[in-house]
Amino acid sequence: MLLTAAPTNLPALLIAGARIYDPARGLSDPIDVRVRQGHIAEIGADLPDDGCEVVAAVGQVLCAGFVDLLACAREPGDEHEEDLCSLSDAAAAGGYVAVVVGPDTRPSNDDHAVTELILRRAREYGRCEVLPQGALSHRLQGQQLAPIGEMAEAGAVCFGDADRPVTSARLMRRALEYARSFHRPIFSHPMDPSLGGVMHEGAWSTRLGLRGSPAAAEAIIVARDLMLAQLARAQLHFIRLTTRRSVELVREARRHGVAVTASVTPWHLTYTAEALRTYDPNLKFSQPLRDEADRLALLEGLRDGTIDAVCSDHAPENVADKCVEFDAAEPGAIGLQTVWPVLMDRVRAAELTLEQALHALVEAPRRVLSLPSASVSVGRAASLALLDLDATWRLDAATSRSRSRNTVLWGRELRGRAVLTLLRGRIVHRVLAD
Amino acid sequence: MPTDAVTQTGSPPPTAAPRVALRHLLGLEDLSGDQITGILDLAAQMKAVNARRIKKLPTLRGVTVLTLFVEPSTRTRMSFELAAKRLSADVMSFSAATSSLSKGETLIDTAKNLEAMGPDLIVIRHGAAGAPRLLTQHVGCGVVSGGDGFHEHPTQGLLDAFTLREKLGSLAGRKIAIVGDILHSRVARSNIWGLGKLGADVHVAGPATMLPAGIEDMGCTAHARVEPALEGADAVMMLRVQRERMDGGFFPSAHEFHRFFGLDEERLKLCKPGAPVLHPGPMNRGVEIAPEVADGPQSVILEQVENGVAVRMAVLYLVAATHGLDGRVD
């Protein structure tokens, strides 16, 4: 039986026997880490407990907490699905210490007042650092540039129109150029809506009788945005790449010096369009599940660094929006608590190394956002995740911290779990074995 | 076999056809060739019943069949209702022009409300692919698909196979051409599965805009022009092309569609002599099919309609029997 403990304030902990993941040095041998007064106080072999609570961590990995590049908080506007508190709890329970929240709220985050509201609410709760993504355009309508400067000043870390396509190349160009003045990346959701459908176009959409969206619908916009980023000399991030062709385009653009980064979701590394044969709306995504060749290309891209990060794409939806015909279902799934076990499945399947999985969750997203590197060293603030690689558990009403339960993994056995998350020394998540 | 159905009470179907277990009928993809043959054999006996003076069996007395049509349809619905009545089932009907896509009551809520009235079988027609399967996850009774989106229309596939079997005998190795808007056709998909499982050599043809990606993976040969599909075909099935598809840019005009992809007397000569011509209806005369062909000697279009009732009787009977509802006398 596992329980999640209530947080206590700035405890002194001795995390004993975990391997440390540091982006510069990789995985260490087992070692002890002392956390005191919110900071890493000491790292060494066989440290005495010195009055600290000892956390036995043999076989586990300690790293800087994960940073997520895209989650939907649903606050303001749809707090029955999620709010910034439940989102923070779900993030902490997944090993995250910081989460980028999308602008597709009600009202949308296209104004500094909304940015400030989100930051204030998140800080009051204080269980996870919340990093607002500002809208690229007014009301996410793809017409008029949003006040990017003021939102950046208020604390927005990046800009994009969530999963609304920016159909105008001119607007995308201006956004890339303008955001450069404020040193912020543009997050592009590459999709040409005129080629849209409810799943990947191919043999499976034909068989299931669902409208397909071809891989080209994504790759066309990837190619466009790469050319615009080069033209604008701006920083571009593709959120949730899904196709082989997109990976090739990004790889080539990198060679030409375009400042582009990219992320992928655990879903697209795991499932293909075939998984929709049961019409499960929890596997409907705004960037659809593709073919096996695409899945393998995404993994290859992640291994060779063309794709930098893995993002949760956490999208809480009311049951009522999912318990309908596939065509009518809202896309998206919750994911913050299952990213780690799902990626560990890829590690167990020898499709990724443990270091590659950790890099994609720990260091790469920090680089996308130009945050300080995720090193684990004495003197650094203790914003850490302690990860069990094999612990089995289920995401259910007892363990889930989200307000929504739209995931195909609900109730299924998962392997791998964040067992302890610290935010500047505070315990924000802990699994206790009894 | 009793000669007069009225004398028959609570007994199994007309004769001992191989009994096919059919919990639901959602698509022909899920059935084996043997199961399909079993259904068609039973349908043949049902067709004999339909030729009697008193066209009624008492087999499903006390069984209630609900037809839940969340997409406009008259002929499929009437065919199902007639089939149910010929088996002495009670029929209730629910129709809605719209689905939960338009933000009314959800499909599941509608179905649960209607289920509370105690139907034994639900026949559902729905504009969204997968809706019948969704229904099976939320109601306890047997579900028969009357067509879902572009996915499948299994009873249409069965009645087409039945009609072809009547005309051609065994379908093994027979070249069957399915022509027209394959992309938006659930009839085409059910026929590709069904005829394929019966051993036919299925060819589909239409403008490349209407040939869906990977269609050949379902076990057919695809052609972007109609002539190679018709060449030497044992039968040809024309599909309805909806005029609204012009707005989607799938073809430029009805005139042009007819000219290049329609079935006229000249093109029909490419098929084997006397090859039957099928159409699931409703027809667009002068678009996918020329009036002379639709009304010509090779047309079996009205026989398809007649066979539809027999096939649906067989399906309703088998699903009811699988749920232990046949021969209910209480």
CB pairs < 8 Å spanning A and B: 80
Query: What phi and psi values does residue A138 have, to the nearest 5 degrees?
Result: -55, 125
Closest-CA residue in chain A for B70?
A: A325
CA-based nearest distance A306→chain B, Å: 29
Quick one: residue B199, left, alpha or beta (phi over 0 = left, psi -120 to 50 = alpha)? Answer: left
Inter-chain residue contact B128 with A203, CB threshold 8 Å: no
What ipTM was estimated for this complex?
0.86
Tell me the whole-structure pTM to 2 decimals: 0.90
Inter-chain residue contact A326 with B218, CB threshold 8 Å: no
Residues in chain B: 330
User: DSSP secondary structure string, B4-51?
Assistant: SGGG--S--SSS-PPP---S-B--GGGS-HHHHHHHHHHHHHHHHHHT
Inter-chain residue contact B213 with A324, CB threshold 8 Å: no
Q: Which of A297, A270, A263, A275 is nearest to A199 (CA)?
A: A275
CB of A205 within 8 Å of a chain B CB? The answer is yes
User: DSSP secondary structure string, A174-192?
Assistant: HHHHHHHTTT-PEEE----
Residues in A closer than 8 angstroms to B196, CB to CB, are none
CB of B136 within 8 Å of a chain A CB? The answer is no
Inter-chain residue contact B130 with A324, CB threshold 8 Å: no
Residues in chain A: 434
A41 alpha carbon, distance to own chain's centre: 29
pLDDT for the residue B94: 86
pLDDT for the residue A285: 96
Mean pLDDT within A333-351: 98
Closest partner residue to B99 (CB to CB) among A201, A212, A325 is A325
Q: What is the C-alpha to C-alpha distance for residues A199 and A288, in angstroms, rounded to an integer?
A: 5
Contact present, A357 and A347 (Cβ < 8 Å)? yes
Inter-chain residue contact A279 with B130, CB threshold 8 Å: yes
pLDDT for the residue B72: 82
Mean pLDDT within A286-303: 97
End-to-end CA distance of chain A: 6
Domains, chain B: 5-152+308-322 (3.40.50.1370), 154-304 (3.40.50.1370)
Inter-chain residue contact B151 with A210, CB threshold 8 Å: yes
* Burial group, residue B80, by CB count within 10 angstroms (0-12, 13-18, 19+): buried
CB of A325 within 8 Å of a chain B CB? The answer is yes
pLDDT digits 0-9 by tens, A109-167: 999 999 999 999 999 999 999 999 999 999 999 999 999 999 999 999 999 999 999 99
pLDDT digits 0-9 by tens, A375-432: 999 999 999 999 999 999 999 999 999 999 999 999 999 999 999 999 999 999 999 8
Mean pLDDT within A32-37: 96
For residue A26, give the 3-state DSSP assignment.
strand
The token pair that represents A322 in the structure block: 């999912």
Contact present, A349 and A343 (Cβ < 8 Å)? no
Q: What is the pLDDT along chain B (330 residues), one digit of tens a residue?
A: 444 444 444 444 554 444 789 999 999 999 999 999 999 999 999 999 999 999 999 999 999 999 999 888 889 999 999 999 999 999 999 887 655 445 567 888 888 888 898 899 999 999 999 999 999 999 999 999 999 999 999 999 999 999 999 999 999 999 999 999 999 999 999 999 999 999 999 999 999 999 999 999 999 999 999 999 999 999 999 999 987 777 788 999 999 999 999 999 999 999 999 999 999 989 999 999 999 999 999 999 999 999 999 999 999 999 999 998 876 444
Count the Cβ atoms, other than its own, within 10 Å of residue B314. Answer: 30
The token pair that represents B15 in the structure block: 């004769």
> Residue A212: CB partners within 8 Å, gap ≥ 6?
A197, A198, A199, A200, A201, A202, A205, A206, B212, B213
Contact present, A139 and A166 (Cβ < 8 Å)? no
Closest partner residue to B101 (CB to CB) among A207, A278, A327 is A327
CB of A293 within 8 Å of a chain B CB? The answer is no
pLDDT for the residue B109: 86
pLDDT for the residue B111: 84
Using the predicted structure, report yes or no on whether residue A3 has a pLDDT greater than 70: no
Amino acid sitting at position B260: F
Summary mean pLDDT of chain A: 95
Count the Cβ atoms, other than its own, within 10 Å of residue A278. Answer: 14
Task: Please state at what angle helix A215-232 crosses helix A169-180, rounded to 10 degrees.
Answer: 40
CB of A279 within 8 Å of a chain B CB? The answer is yes
Residue corresponding to tokens 């094999």: A390
For residue B283, give the 3-state DSSP assignment.
coil
Mean pLDDT within A171-197: 96
Closest-CA residue in chain A for B185?
A: A209
Q: What is the C-alpha to C-alpha distance for residues B126 and A152, in angstroms, rounded to an integer?
A: 48
Q: How confident is the model at residue A433 (pLDDT cuts 50, 70, 90)?
A: low
CA-based nearest distance B251→chain A, Å: 17
Contact present, A226 and A238 (Cβ < 8 Å)? no
Contact present, A299 and A346 (Cβ < 8 Å)? yes
Q: Which of B282, B285, B328 is nearest to B302 (CA)?
A: B282
Residue numbers of B annotated as active site: 75-76, 103, 125, 153
Residues in B closer than 8 angstroms to A275, CB to CB, are none
CB of B248 within 8 Å of a chain A CB? The answer is no
Closest partner residue to B130 (CB to CB) among A203, A214, A326 is A326
Q: What is the C-alpha to C-alpha distance for residues B177 and A402, in angstroms, rounded to an integer?
A: 53
CB of B193 within 8 Å of a chain A CB? The answer is no
Q: What percent of chain A has pLDDT over 90?
A: 94
DSSP class of residue A422 equals E
pLDDT for the residue A5: 45
Closest partner residue to B129 (CB to CB) among A201, A210, A323 is A210
CA-based nearest distance A355→chain B, Å: 38
Quick one: residue A97, left, alpha or beta (phi over 0 = left, psi -120 to 50 = alpha)? Answer: alpha
pLDDT for the residue A1: 38
Query: What phi and psi values does residue A188 have, to the nearest 5 degrees?
Result: -105, 130
Count the Cβ atoms, other than its own, within 10 Å of residue A251. Answer: 18
Best probe of the B interface among A206, A282, A319, by most B CBs < 10 A, is: A206
Domains, chain A: 2-62+377-433 (2.30.40.10), 66-368 (3.20.20.140)
